[in-house]
Amino acid sequence: MNDSSKKFNKEAQFQIVKAEFEMTQNQMDKYDDISIKIKTWAVTLWGASMGWFFQTKNKEILLLGLVITIFFWIIDIINKNYRTNYKTRRNEVVKAMNEHFQKGEWPKNFTSPEPPLNKKIEIKHVILMPHMSVFYIALFSLALLLFFIK
């Protein structure tokens, strides 16, 4: 291989890694958008159940609000898990790019493209993230509080 083909090969490798970085970031953005939609549906249906409760004064309707909250929280956890898989891969790509810029070569055992595998859902890890839990705990707590007060 001559120097010009090596340079072309390195440039082609960099473009592939750059494209993978952009793809993983775009996927993360899509999962963030889905999460916003999940939360919007959760608060809409939860709010409708609360309005129905205040109209009828039927405590069992508050239980519907609790079920709605749990249901959408689980869906959001699954969505966040998929996003986390892409975030992990994006961070690997960024680390490889940094090493490439510092040392002029790619890390050993780094291959690109390598789409992330959907790993097992790590509910314990995701459920305790403040940006995931505060919203749903607030909805759940308000419905529970109304259930015991009314």
Rounded mean pLDDT, 33-38: 97
First to last CA, the chain: 80
User: For 91-105, 108-122, 127-141, which range has the lowest pLDDT when averaged over its residues?
Assistant: 108-122
**pTM strictly above 0.85:** no
Instruction: Note the pLDDT tens digit of each residue in 70-90.
Output: 999 999 998 998 898 899 899
Pick the more confident residue, 113 or 124.
113
Give the CA distances from residue 121 to residues 29, 80, 81, in Å, rounded to whole numbers and listed in that order: 19, 9, 6
Angle made by CA atoms 61, 62, 63, in degrees to the nearest 5: 85
